[in-house]
Structure 1
């Protein structure tokens, strides 16, 4: 794990999304809430929130975070699409921490899409999940409102003695 102990606690926000491509019949069943397994959209929202909360258990070396809020939304394509369309799954995660919440937002969106896939696979075997990505993040070093990181110390240019060996002193990154 990366040592984040010296980083300041800041408000962190991340939004991630992905797409679930479905056929026309499934899209109609989702709109009418008539799936054989039940209300897939609500199950997806719950699964996404649970996935975001359990990110540190699923992703090795990911810091466990106390999330302030997780919001999962599933947007159906507009209009009548006989051929189907792409549902947009979005997950927003917020916290006050020393490290970002991108992984929590990504995991939440992915797990929500997987839950939808599971709920709908009996109706549409040709579904596919695509375009998982971080859409927005704020807080921490990459945030323009945040303080700049401290400068790095200059490189040591002093000559090495013959009886001296060199080994990196920061073993944390090996």
Structure 2
């Protein structure tokens, strides 16, 4: 296991529990089969405080383009700001989305997309051992990745196939046709 990601759900359904806190998150685990694996770092916008420190370094007497942390706080080295953004953190706030099918645990595409981008190159292969409604497979196809989906429940696999039809050239899961 390489990372544990916390999926924070800001629009969770209210719970009427009286003896505990309302749970508004799920864990998502990032696994790699070996120590050497494909990973494309995903970026998110910088916090305003980071940008302020960066602006100071441009205006101050330091080398332009570098941020100089406070050495008294154990941060002796300068770092160069990546203007594209900072490395994505492990707590992701993504709203849940409704789904017209009968599946109860549908991931939103916005949750799955950075995972597929980070862990699989274009034209690569995404494995979803719990296919469910097919969100991961839909995202994989939208991002020009191939996929293998495993689902034991025939109702869910049928639901996933219907959802995937606009993104597939083949007409069944048995006719594999790579991107």
Q: TM-score, normalised by structure 1?
A: 0.27
Larger Rg: 1
Q: TM-score, normalised by structure 2?
A: 0.27
Q: Which has the higher contact order (CA 8 A, sep 6+)?
A: 1
Between Structure 1 and Structure 2, which shows a larger proportion of strand residues?
1
